[in-house]
Structure 1
């Protein structure tokens, strides 16, 4: 059910046979509930050969959650908005409407789209009313921008970024900033078995620089943060999936076969399953618990994987270098790592900050005791050499005089240790 958005179903399959079985099963299951799922569309038409023709969509470009997709070429495209400027009065509100009409989730035209947002920011700085006409100096610039958009050639990118999981993949993020805006772009670099490399576009984002002017170094930091935000989720899921394919591939293969039992598989008691993006998660009986999805179904990670070690180090830092149990509880809200306690003990031994906290206090060497501390040498009576301390006040209730403030003076013999 997680692959449904309203009445649309979307899923990716690794083979035509898997797609064919899924299409037949989904249609049968929904039909039992009185729902007739139609308009099936796939980039491999042979996978739908068992369906009736009236259940198939025409093999042409369609919108998938607003994003145009060409099934023949299996590419995503940018759809130009349908607005027409016929010389009507251009106001600040109209410019905002034009800028907001660009639906470009993948950032295919982000270098072009940021231009109108920069123009809008300059208009806002003038302090005009939303319904007042913009200055003449912007009209020609806006008209040129819309003419360029109207004559823009179609832009397409491959939908599938990682066709083969056996290849080596890297994510590369580039960021830049100027006084006008900041930008970040992500590519995936694939190394094939023969050593050849292919780089493909993933996503890009742009932002207009804040109205409050910042220095270029600060803007470049903002751009780096933007790039990290674009890279984090995709890289995290990709690294987790790669790790699972390397260390728990047997469990994944068992689940793909439709079985939930495999002799010698230590993960089967946790009732694992594959989520909608193919990540291995823990099942269990917490579906009705008031918890987040990640807490109810943690991701499975092998403790020897690189990403597991990085996540442990990050959690150790985020938890303020607290104790083992605290960091363990923090990680178990999202991940199942068998052998986590042992890994945390090992991390604590080599952590520089933890080593400083565990270090023994330096005990300075004490000076020799003075002669007056030895009664045999001086043959003195008690309290000849005396130490004194005073503390208070204490409030004491007296029947005759009421509340009184009292102090305590403590005398201590330095030879016999007697106290008065």
Structure 2
């Protein structure tokens, strides 16, 4: 097992590295070999060794953490954490630094000179070059000037530019803090243009893109002139964190600035994050919201580190995105609603404000920049100038507008004040399941504590089910009966003379009150047309009555229920029964095609011939003791006149024969003797039954049409 990641995130370590006045970087010498693996765990690191072929194989155990094993980094870091916990009392500052600033075998950021002396007492091999450029977690740092530097390794300008070489050049950048993100974004935008052109990896770039890439690649040499101060704020000062976000059609991003307020206030860029806009185009407001979402995640991460105890401010130049963030997420479509909800949760306790586009440093990030422009951009290095002033001098937030785009579409139909309890139920397609579900509801309402379900429970549960369906779907008729004693003439059930029984159920009044039929048959329960419970009830009775036909099934159902729609509703349900379709399959028969050319033109006798076989026949041998012998007869059919020959005989037709054949026989073929009506052609993905003469229809296999090959007719 690899083990979990327990060391702090690289970004958090580098941010801490930029907050202390005194900094130290160092590597723990032979870190893995300093961690001992005690028995019996060391037996999991056994190796076999012998000096020669003649020597016996010896078993050795590796008693320290071995480089290259999957759990090596976790074990080493976990041991360093345990060491910091064990030695926390005599070395409190060193213990805290080790727990929060250790990255595998590298250590960065020391708070004071006193803490530096504590580390010198340990057995670690420290490295701190105060007069030379150093690498801190992959980031170039000049201790003499206390500046963070950037450099790009030498590029091959002789090779032919392709998408592969462009990606290789962009991958040379190492900027975990995102300090030169505008330059990287500019390169990534160009790479996305190559993807839009659908170029292969080693295909030469088009002329226009080639010239653009050469200019961009040549400008990257000036990256070495860019430097940033390591320390972003002074100690013992009031600190504020300001985050800016912006988006364009090419990219969106967020950048963070730390403002230190004392006699002379200062503002410096801390870090940034960026994303290239997806190939599937989004509207600018959605991209602006994505930038705000990215900013919210970065700001929440900074606040959770506890490095900056001051106020946090979020800035955006999009009035639409700002209005979304201040509104209720449930009002919007899914894309906007999800991000607004996340932003509101992550930026709780932070203040959102509006910034003009010209003063938004994230605008540089979203559009990309050349190194020559970035070097001269005070807006990128220090943020807008109003950050150094008082809060009264900050830009006034834009007038909050009620958002009108991306609102969730709502349709409200008020037909009944009663909710349909069957909607959304997982047993909605099973009448038997709905009966049992509402039977348990009946027991719960009436506090019946007997185990299981009785017949009475199911009957009462069915009545409860039907009552709720009627109240939800036939409320207007029920209300009219309660008010006037009868329904309106325009009602679909006016011919049934409906009434409401003492249980509150809507039943058929009808004309059978004097018959000897049971009460349920005289006055069946009315079910609405097209309701899922009605369809489930019809399917249930259809299976219960052994797949009866529509008329017989309707007669059975009307002994207890009266589905509105009658025969049409029942026929629709029966037509969807797969078992009934199997028993009465309809074979696909297409209209009879045109006769082939060979049957419509005269030719020599048996020049165009069809061959068939008839039989078998049995003939007796001349030897009486032998059994009959099976045989077949070859039948040769002349295409033109259907003449049949069972023997090899050639006759030459006369000219008179062909004249009479054309005038008398050929015209008889004009009519279609069968397959006279055109039928629907099969299409791809149709589910069909494959007819097998040797099997009953219920066992015919189901198949799906993959492709249809059409003939000339």
Normalised by the size of structure 1, how large is the TM-score?
A: 0.49
Larger radius of gyration: 2
Normalised by the size of structure 2, how large is the TM-score?
A: 0.30
